[in-house]
Structure 1
């Protein structure tokens, strides 16, 4: 099953008359790797937002759609805890342990706090 990123890429290929192999070649990866990314078996590499945007000359709106598709397709998240305080580490670890148990109201409150601290964007 395709992720949101996979759906975006498939549409991009159709719009450009390309096959999966063509896009994989442009991204300098194998077709099987690109397929694994599109189906969520692998995370989307961090540099692909910029790389795809440049290769396909995406406008700002399409690049934003790509960014959200990538974020919503990630299967795991890596957090660098280097140079963080013990309190920050404890916060990250507590959230990682408990986030699946949070109810919708708690998730909304946390998201609201994060948006407030980040100028409305999370």
Structure 2
């Protein structure tokens, strides 16, 4: 299934008269790797936003669109937990495990708690 990032890239290629292979070459990867990223089988490498923006001379609106598409397409996220104590690590893990089972109201409550100023 094509991700938001994949849709952005496909449109960019069409607008530039390119094939998947052409964009893959510009990114220094194989066509199959780019295809896997576009279809959500691999995460979008963070360096690609800058590389695509530069290679295709994107304007500010397009860069913002690319960043949004990249964020929407991420399926894995790495968190640096090394400076957290065990209680904080357990809290992060519990939230990650339970978030799919939460309804929208519960998520809003947690978000409001997190955004609350001290």
1:98 aligns to what?
A: 98
| 1:14-53 matched pairs, under 5 angstroms | 14-53=14-53
2:59 aligns to what?
A: 59
Give 3-state SS (helix, strand or coil) of 1:110's partner: helix
Give RMSD over aligned pairs. Answer: 1.6
CA apart distance, 1:113: 4.8
- Tell me, in whole angstroms, the C-alpha distance in 2 between the residues paired with 1:30 and 1:78: 24
Give 3-state SS (helix, strand or coil) of 1:75's partner: coil
Structure index of larger Rg: 2
Going from structure 1 to structure 2, the CA distance change for 1:97 and 1:34 (only over 3 Å counts) comes to same
Residues 100-109 or 27-36, more deviating: 100-109
Query: Unaligned regions of 5+ residues in structure 1, if any?
Result: 118-122
Query: When the two structures are superposed, what TM-score results if normalisation uses the length of structure 2?
Result: 0.89
CA apart distance, 1:110: 3.0
1:69 aligns with 2:65: no
Query: When the two structures are superposed, what TM-score results if normalisation uses the length of structure 1?
Result: 0.86
CA apart distance, 1:108: 2.4
| Cα displacement string for residues 40-83 of structure 1 (whole angstroms, at most 9, x for unaligned residues) | 01111111111111111111211111111111111221212122
Going from structure 1 to structure 2, the CA distance change for 1:53 and 1:110 (only over 3 Å counts) comes to farther
Going from structure 1 to structure 2, the CA distance change for 1:101 and 1:9 (only over 3 Å counts) comes to same
